[in-house]
Amino acid sequence: MVPIKSIFNFLRIQIKQSEDKIVLAKKKVADVIVESLIAAGVKRVYGISGDSLNGITDSIREHNKDISWIHVRHEESAAFAAGSEAHLTGNLAVCAGSCGPGNTHLVNGLYDCYRSRVPVLAIAAHIPIREIGSAYFQETHPELLFRECSQYCELVSHPEQVPRVLEIAMRTAISLCGVAIVILPGDVALQEAVSSRPFISFKQSKATIRPSKKEITRLAEALNSAQKVTILGGAGCDGAHSELVQVAGLLQAPIVHAMRGKEFIEYDNPYDVGMTGLLGFSSGYHAMMDSDLLLMLGTDFPYQQFYPPRAYIIQVDIRGEQIGRRTKVDLGLVGDVRETLVAVKPLLNRKSDKGHLRASLDHYKKSRKDLDSYAVGEPGRTPIHPQYVAKIINDVAADDAIFTCDVGTPTLWAARYLKMNGRRRLLGSFSHGSMANALPQAIGAQQVYPKRQVICLSGDGGFSMLMGDFLSLKQLKLPVKIIIFNNGALSFVELEMKAAGLLTFGTSLIDTDFSKLADAAGILGLRAEKPEQVEQMLNQALEHNGPALVDVIVNPQELLIPPSINLEQIRGFTLYMIKAVLNGRGDEIVDLAKTNLFR
């Protein structure tokens, strides 16, 4: 006879298995995806709701203690915001778009994430699986659409693919610091899950990548034999500040930085001589041109005309495919910047000749003095110099402020007047070069760091392009501070036209009082029209407990002088001035002269 206890145990097991089946039957594919995101440490998903995303958004609603839905006004903003979060934290960030136009809007922001190499996962909802290929309402081909801006892009066509496809996507984004896309038809998201197992937590291994001993020896020999070494550093110098400064001291080498390297290199650096490139200083340009050896560290600086034509060039980069694609390279080394510097440092001889370094530092001091001389605001003298606005922003901002800047003149002023200190952060669309990036990046930054100052430097053109998400600041209760450099034009584009000998055309913007738009949205709006108003209004905005906007009327005729001007640019600008006079626009030349010659 079977014991009664054994029968009860058997029945209890059967009941438990039946309950598990019932629970599993109720769990949908969308639930497994959301639970997997939570298991991976994802705290929020940026996006706009849509019927094809209903499964995902409803599951987020049910799991709202562990994950949030960040409702923005445009999917492009969602992608930029996710990229900002990933940049600041180094962790996986997520955005989502509904089928057709919804996920198509993600593309530009994801391109920026892809080119900035930050780990972002995008959930691209799709039309019903049975309708694919029928020219259905809102049908696109996301696999083709996202191919150029992602490292991984796959369609989930059956519940059995989840969570496996999602795991692969997340691991790809984390491992490659890139973009992964999961295309999810709305009907598949609502189907019963085949597996209830969520994502198994994955941590990227901290592998050490450094050149071989033989390559390190060659590197040391080249550096020891050179007379005038200059270092060009980029974003790859993140985490290598101490080693970089120590090696520069041994080599008596000035350090030039690219835009993406600014926040990691320029602070507490006695060898810093500024930037080069279109946004840079003449001191950075000449420090590179006067060198006999250029050491490139973690940079993919794109402008070939700013590289020294006769120097011996060494490039160190974690990605071998980047070596030699901008300029000829005499010695290319694949490795982490910090690990490479640690390995080569004991083999370096301390140089005694400080001539090249001293000349570069002297040039930098002069360049810095010249730039600072433009950052003045005389009471009553209008229009306001944008350099002065940027300087005051730098002075009044917190020591741990996070800055975002639009492409164009805001990036220029940020490059030249914002000072990094190892705690401040600086974000922009520095590789992709998209307009309208600053506001959505500020949204992502403030979501991650709600108690830190987040200051958005926007142009009137960039701000108005994604202005709908200005309303998101109010809805999301984000105390972002927006400073608009309002010059009534796409001024960087105008400069490019003038340098090419063209009359400016299609660049003017209607005069807009953005402070009144802010007031209408229930956000603090201020407008500075005189220099003496700038500091007071910036302080008022920063002290305000909530989002704020300061609309500053700045001079549209500032010439953005690059560190090197070639003959073609001189000819182009001369041609522009002749055309302006002949076409009855001589007043533009007078304004240019007043602004840039008679300050």
Q: Is residue 14 part of a domain?
A: no
User: How much is the pLDDT for 568?
Assistant: 60
Under a CB-based contact definition with an 8 Å cutoff, are residues 287 and 305 in contact? no
Amino acid 571: pLDDT: 54
Beta pairing partners, 192: 28
For residue 399, the domain's CATH number is 3.40.50.970
The reply to whether 264 belongs to the active site is no
Instruction: Check: CB of residue 543 under 8 Å from CB of residue 535.
Output: no
* Annotated catalytic residue within 29, 42, 72, 75: 75
Catalytic residue among 107, 118, 138, 454: 138
Of the candidates 395, 466, 446, the one whose C-alpha atom is nearest the C-alpha of residue 548 is 446
Of 365, 389, 406, the residue that ends a domain is 365
Tell me if 444 is assigned to some domain.
yes
For the entire predicted model, the pTM comes to: 0.90
Interatomic CA distance for residues 498 and 191, integer angstroms? 59
pLDDT of the residue at 405: 98
In this structure, are 332 and 417 located in the same domain?
A: no
Residue-level pLDDT at 576: 44
Q: Are residues 334 and 396 in the same domain?
A: no
Amino acid at the residue 383? P
Distances (CA, A) of 20 to 158, 164, 318: 22, 21, 47
Q: Give the 3-state DSSP-derived string for 61-87, with helices as H, strands as E and coil as C.
A: HHCCCCCEEEECCCHHHHHHHHHHHHH
72 included as an active-site residue: no
Token pair of 480 as six digits: 């972002």
> Do 566 and 424 share a structural domain?
yes
Output the DSSP codes for 185-245: EHHHHTSBPS----PPP-----------HHHHHHHHHHHHH-SSEEEEE-GGGTT-HHHHH
Alpha-carbon span 503 to 497, nearest angstrom: 7
Q: What are the tokens at 275?
A: 């930037």
Do 450 and 591 have their domain in common? Answer: yes
Report helix, strand and coil shares of the chain as percent, to nearest 5: 50, 15, 35
The CATH number of residue 259's host domain is: 3.40.50.1220
2 is a domain residue = no
Torsion of CA 278, 284, 285, 287, to 10 degrees: -170
pLDDT tens digits, 447-481: 999 999 999 999 999 999 999 999 999 999 999 99
Instruction: Determine which one of 430, 492, 514, 573 is catalytic.
Output: 492
Q: What are phi and psi of 154, to 5 degrees?
A: -140, 150
Low-confidence ranges of the chain (pLDDT < 50): 19-24, 573, 576-577, 579-583, 585-593, 595, 597-598
- Answer yes or no: is 393 within a domain: yes
Whether 180 and 292 map to the same domain: the answer is no
What pLDDT, on a 0 to 100 scale, did the predictor assign at position 3?
Answer: 60
DSSP letters, 340-404, are HHHHHGGGPPPP---HHHHHHHHHHHHHHHHHHHH----TT--SBPHHHHHHHHHHHS-TT-EEE
Query: Do residues 402 and 340 both lie within one domain?
Result: no
Q: Residue 296: phi, psi to the nearest 5?
A: -95, 125
Closest CA to 216 of 342, 350, 321: 342
Task: Say whether both 351 and 441 belong to one domain.
Answer: no
Give catalytic status of residue 151 as yes or no.
Answer: no
The DSSP call for residue 508 is: B
Helix count and strand count (H, E) for the chain: 25, 18
The domain in which residue 72 lies consists of 27-189
**Residue tagged active-site, from 407, 448, 552, 554:** 407
Query: Do 243 and 343 have their domain in common?
Result: yes
pLDDT for the residue 596: 53
Provide the 3-class DSSP secondary structure of residue 503: coil
Domain count, the chain: 3
407 is catalytic: yes
**138 in active site:** yes
Residue 52 lies in a domain: yes
| Long-range Cβ contacts of 358-362 (<8 Å, 24+ apart) | 359/290, 360/230, 360/254, 360/273, 360/283, 360/286, 360/287, 360/290, 361/254, 361/271, 361/273
Same domain for 488 and 421, yes or no, is: yes
* Cα–Cα distance for residue pair 579/557, rounded to 1 Å: 17
The answer to whether residue 278 is domain-embedded is yes
Quickly count: other Cβ atoms within 10 Å of residue 3's Cβ: 8
